[in-house]
């Protein structure tokens, strides 16, 4: 596998020679209701199968692999409606902000034969005022049978402390999320559901949802496997998880709001493993150990 990266009209193409592996979207023109944000979609396995779903009809703001922050100070950087405990309903509240791509710092290669996407972002509130800045670095590297993904991000408040919070609904999602496509895991068809398991020995989406784990893996109904890793240096490690048939992500904010004071920064590091074939727990643990030591 020979990975290359190149800038394109929508953002960045990640290629294996002349075959597409991923598109990093940083210039999509979507409505403010969707809280525009950078995202990877589509993402392909090495054998050509597609992992992600982008802007599905029921949740247009689900954009493949993305960081979405439901509550960021007074802003919605996730998209869609806010759940309001006072009414017990999702309500349309016009607080949608933007995670704006400002510039690429580096589009290049890594020492391990992969590619790096390093860029600067500004977080804008509903009035387009900057209330945080971010440097986000993605490394994508090949291994036998798949790709390793790693993201390092540093978020700094502007003007006042930054308070990040999950949805006030029971699901408690917010942060890094992967929306998987229907060929990988279909939530309305038990025969087509992905199979999930985690580092703590739990199996099944319901058993993993809201529970702590160092990593969570999901095997697709039509083949392929994805595993997401939490890093020991992250706050609230090991993370609780948001896990459904077609959604997966570390639920950093599930225990409660997280505040970063002015002059400080929030640093997060996660990894994702994509394999054409489903790996066993021993192999995933070996990959996790490398990541945890980095």
Share above pLDDT 70 across residues of the chain, in percent, rounded to a whole number: 98
Helix spans in 1-143 (H): none
Q: CA 254 to CA 238: how far, in whole Å?
A: 12
What is the tens place of the pLDDT at every residue in 87-135? 999 999 999 999 999 999 999 999 999 999 999 999 999 999 999 999 9
Per-residue confidence (pLDDT) for residue 190, from 0 to 100: 67
Residue closest to 123 by CA, chosen among 168, 165, 73, 60: 73
| Percent of residues in the chain assigned helix, strand, coil, to nearest 5 | 5, 50, 45
Per-residue confidence (pLDDT) for residue 163, from 0 to 100: 99
Domain that holds residue 74: 3-292
What is the tens place of the pLDDT at every residue in 249-270? 999 999 999 999 999 999 999 9
What is the tens place of the pLDDT at every residue in 134-185? 999 999 999 999 999 999 999 999 999 999 999 988 889 999 999 999 878 6
| The pLDDT of residue 78 is above 80 | yes
Q: Which two tokens stand for residue 139?
A: 């490394």
**Average of per-residue pLDDT across 52-60:** 92
Residues ≥6 apart with Cβ < 8 Å to 172: 166, 210, 240, 242, 251, 253, 254
Q: Which pLDDT band, with edges at 50, 70 and 90, does 68 fall under? A: very high
Per-residue confidence (pLDDT) for residue 171, from 0 to 100: 87
Per-residue confidence (pLDDT) for residue 245, from 0 to 100: 87
Per-residue confidence (pLDDT) for residue 134, from 0 to 100: 99
Q: Which pLDDT band, with edges at 50, 70 and 90, does 1 fall under? A: confident
Sign of CA dihedral 258, 231, 120, 80: negative
Contacts 24+ apart (CB under 8 A), 156-159: 156/132, 156/260, 156/264, 156/265, 156/266, 157/131, 157/132, 157/260, 157/261, 157/262, 157/264, 158/130, 158/131, 158/132, 158/133, 159/129, 159/130, 159/131, 159/262
What is the tens place of the pLDDT at every residue in 179-233? 999 878 666 666 677 899 999 999 999 999 999 999 999 999 888 999 999 999 9
Q: Which pLDDT band, with edges at 50, 70 and 90, does 5 fall under? A: very high
Helices vs. strands in the chain: H and E counts, helices first: 2, 21
**Average of per-residue pLDDT across 56-60:** 89
Q: CA 179 to CA 188: how far, in whole Å?
A: 15
Write down the mean pLDDT value for the chain.
95
Residues ≥6 apart with Cβ < 8 Å to 268: 151, 152, 153, 155, 176, 231, 234, 252
Q: CB-based burial of residue 218 (10 Å sphere; 0-12 exposed, 13-18 middle, 19+ buried)?
A: buried
Could you give the 3-state DSSP secondary structure of residue 219?
A: strand
**Average of per-residue pLDDT across 225-250:** 97
Q: How far is CA 265 from the centre of its chain?
A: 19
Per-residue confidence (pLDDT) for residue 256, from 0 to 100: 97
Q: How many domains does the chain have?
A: 1
Q: CB-based burial of residue 293 (10 Å sphere; 0-12 exposed, 13-18 middle, 19+ buried)?
A: exposed
Could you give the 3-state DSSP secondary structure of residue 208?
A: helix
Q: How far is CA 207 from the centre of its chain?
A: 21
Per-residue confidence (pLDDT) for residue 187, from 0 to 100: 66
pTM (two decimals): 0.96
- At residue 287, φ and ψ (nearest 5 deg) are -65, -40
**Is residue 237 within 8 Å of residue 287, measured between CB atoms?**
no
Per-residue confidence (pLDDT) for residue 48, from 0 to 100: 92
**Which CATH number fits the domain that encloses residue 92?**
2.70.98
Per-residue confidence (pLDDT) for residue 294, from 0 to 100: 95
């Amino acid at each position: 596998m020979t990975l290359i990266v190149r800038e394109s009209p929508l953002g960045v193409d990640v290629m294996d020679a002349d075959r597409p592996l991923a598109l990093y979207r940083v210039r999509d023109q979507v409505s403010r209701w969707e809280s525009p944000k950078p995202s990877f979609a589509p993402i392909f396995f090495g054998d050509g199968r597609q992992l992600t779903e982008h802007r599905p009809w029921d949740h247009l703001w689900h954009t493949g692999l993305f960081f979405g922050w439901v509550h960021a100070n007074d802003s919605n950087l996730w998209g869609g409606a806010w759940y309001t405990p006072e009414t017990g309903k999702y309500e349309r509240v016009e607080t949608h902000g933007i995670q704006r791509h400002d510039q690429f710092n580096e589009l290049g290669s890594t020492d391990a034969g992969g590619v790096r996407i390093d860029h600067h972002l500004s977080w804008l509130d509903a009035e387009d005022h900057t209330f945080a800045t971010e440097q986000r670095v993605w490394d994508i590297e090949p291994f036998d049978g798949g790709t390793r993904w790693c993201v390092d991000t540093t978020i700094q408040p502007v003007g006042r402390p930054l308070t990040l919070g999950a949805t006030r609904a029971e699901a408690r999602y917010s942060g890094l999320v992967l929306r998987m496509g229907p060929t990988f895991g279909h939530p309305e068809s038990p025969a087509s559901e992905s199979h999930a398991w985690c580092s703590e020995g739990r199996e099944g989406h319901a058993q993993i949802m809201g529970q702590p784990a160092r990593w969570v893996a999901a095997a697709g109904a039509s083949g392929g496997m994805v595993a997401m890793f939490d890093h020991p240096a992250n706050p609230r490690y090991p993370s609780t998880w948001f896990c459904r048939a077609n959604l997966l992500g570390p639920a950093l904010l599930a225990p409660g709001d997280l505040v970063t004071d002015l002059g400080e920064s929030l640093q997060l590091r996660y990894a994702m493993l994509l394999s054409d074939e489903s790996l066993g727990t021993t192999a995933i643990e070996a990959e996790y150990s490398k990541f945890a030591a980095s």
